[in-house]
Structure 1
Amino acid sequence: MNAHPVRTQFSLDHGPGRYRIGLIALASDYVVERDFMNMRPSDDVVVFVSRVLNVNPCTVENLKTMGPRLSGAASLIVPDGRVDVIAYCCTSGTTAMGYDAVASSIQETRIDVPVVTPITAGLLALEKFGAKTVAVLTPYVDDVNRALITYIEDNGPRVTALTSFLIADDNQMAGIPPDTIFEAALEADRPDADALFISCTAIRAVDVIGKIEQALGKPVVCANQALFWQSLRVAGYTDPVSGYGELLSMAAE
């Protein structure tokens, strides 16, 4: 049977979404895809997700193994379509490999597409708040924590204190209850810290970030919030987004 051609005159539009974010999530990540979808202000923002194989436990050496696989993960994000930005959703992976290595691998297959990461987005957010000192909360073990603190202090504010859950299994990080993250954030804060940074895209800090800010009375930046914020700005979305902390609630300058 031959199909009857549609007689209605039509033309193609740009497809779903004026602002298109490509997201590379870790294979073991339970949280970041949910967070990005929840934080979307409207269907004008679309998120296309790919995943990259990561190796447990979460150590600096294991994190580095993702590097060669990022180009393949990026190539699967609407390969023949427009993407405004690609977000690699691993804070510790970026600190282990370095931003340039991450971006270079992704841009092997997505040439000229801007690349954002949680740590570089987090540092931009802390700079926006004028933070010269920061307290840090992480779920990581010691070698990953050391790499993170070195990266922060080499590229941004001085770290006044580090508090950690000391978890090596990436799957377990997603099991930290949001209320526990809230209590740990209060514990991690220091009077001499201008802001608090909560690292790791695998934990549910977005759920309680507004509550933490209200309790501490200072800016709080967490990985998924900062990554989404910079992804929006690079994609060209400039309006405020409510419900997920002060950072997203500010319109672009």
Structure 2
Amino acid sequence: MPQQDTAVSVGFIYPDHAAEHDYPYAEKLLGGAARLPVEHIYGTDLHAVPELLDLGSPARLSEGAAQLAGHSPAAVVWACTSGSFVYGWDGAHDQVEHLSRAAGGLPASSTSFAFVRAAEALGVRTVAVAASYPDDVADLFVDFLGRGGVEVVGMSSADIVTAAEVGRLSPDDVVELIVSRDRREADALLVPDTAMRTLALIDILEQRLGKPVLTANQVTVWEGLRLAGVTPGVPGLGTLFRRKGT
């Protein structure tokens, strides 16, 4: 008889298409500790407040939760930073509560909360932000972090209008965008766009900067695993994943 797959499943709702290949990359590094299925919802990929509010709406997240049901996940995460923090701290809590209900009561979270909890797990209090968004959207992320007790000592935005453009950045462009926006006084550097391909670059970035680097898809995977009770130490995904049990 074939051996039954007993790995825990953590489901991710991902908007459109850009950097979703980060999730099978992380699954491979996990070495069988978990499955990370991704289902997509679709909307306009503009980094603009009205479009982001629509993208993270209850109807769209319910659609994503329904698609994930076939994977029997132990937890679900809305893998979109801007489509969660754009609702504000309280609204993002309501968004996650709705997602949990839509997923049949499963533990649920979003990338924005993943950043706050990852910073807390590492004891990070001050951060620099290397955002790909326009300024007005990036400022909302700064406000969100502040509500979570994370002080932003430097924020730079690349003013990239769509997620698709972010997804097409080369690895060299991604590294340069991130490294050039560090602040010496920051405990860590945060990179908030799940459309940016970063997982294969985190160790390189941390070696260049000499501090933790928290990227959107990295913290999203970590948060989903945390909710599912899986906390493995994993090489290749930065300081956050080397701290087993966080």
TM-score (norm 2): 0.90
> Kindly tell me: are residues 49 and 185 of structure 1, through their superposed partners in 2, closer, same or farther at Cα, counting changes over 3 Å?
closer
| Superposition pairs of residues 119-198 of structure 1, within 5 angstroms | 119-198=112-191
How much has 1:49 moved relative to structure 2? 2.2
Matched, 1:87 2:74: no
* SS of equivalent residue, structure 1 residue 76: helix
- Helix, strand or coil for the counterpart of 1:65? helix
Describe the SS at the equivalent of 2:200: helix
Corresponding residue SS for 1:160:
strand
- Higher helix residue share: 2
Task: State whether structure 2 residue 107 is matched by structure 1 residue 114.
Answer: yes
Equivalence for 1:3: none
1:142 Cα deviation after fit = 1.9
**Are 1:246 and 2:239 counterparts?**
yes
1:99 and 1:16 map into 2 onto residues whose CA distance is 34
Deviation at 1:152, TM superposition (A): 0.8
Match of 2:24 among 16, 31, 37: 37
Are the equivalent residues in 1 in contact too, given 2:11–2:77 (CA < 8 A)?
yes
Q: Distance in 2 between matches of 1:196 and 1:159?
A: 10
Q: Which of residues 64, 67, 71 in structure 1 aligns to 2:62?
A: 71
Q: Determine if contact 1:19/1:236 at 8 Å carries over to the other structure.
A: no
Matched residues in 2 for 1:167 and 1:91: separation? 15
Question: 1:116 Cα deviation (Å)?
Answer: 2.1
Aligned residue number for residue 44 of structure 2: 55
Question: Are the equivalent residues in 2 in contact too, given 1:95–1:148 (CA < 8 A)?
Answer: yes
**Deviation of the 1:233 alpha carbon:** 1.9
Following TM superposition, by how much is the alpha carbon of 1:56 offset from its aligned partner in structure 2, in angstroms? 3.3
In the alignment, is residue 22 of structure 1 matched against residue 46 of structure 2?
Answer: no
For 1:90, give the aligned amino acid: C
Give the Cα separation in 2 of the matches to 1:188 and 1:210.
Answer: 17
Contact 1:16/1:44 (8 A) holds in 2: no
Give the letter aligned to residue 127 of structure 2.
Answer: V
Normalising by structure 1, we get a TM-score of 0.88
AA aligned to 2:14 is A
Match in the other structure for 2:211: 218
Aligned-partner residue type, residue 39 of structure 1: A
Moved over 6 A (4+): none
DSSP-derived class of the 2:179 partner? helix
With over 3 angstroms needed to count, the CA separation of the structure-2 counterparts of 1:17 and 1:52, relative to structure 1, is: farther
In terms of Rg, which structure is larger? 1
Q: Give the drift of 1:71.
A: 0.8
Q: Which amino acid aligns with 2:49?
A: V
What is the Cα deviation at residue 17 of structure 1? 4.2
Secondary structure at the aligned position of 2:161 is classed as: coil
The letter of the residue matching 1:110 is: A
CA distance in 2, matches of 1:92, 1:38: 23
How many residue pairs get aligned? The number is 239
Contact 2:26 2:199 in 1 (8 A): no
CA deviation vs aligned residue, 1:170-222 (integer Å, no higher than 9, x gap): 21110112212212222111111111101110001222111111111111111
Where structure 1 has 5 or more consecutive residues not aligned to the other structure, the ranges are: 1-9
1:109 to partner: Cα distance: 2.3
Q: Is the 8 A contact 1:48 1:78 kept in 2?
A: no
> How many angstroms apart in 2 are the aligned matches of 1:135 and 1:195?
7
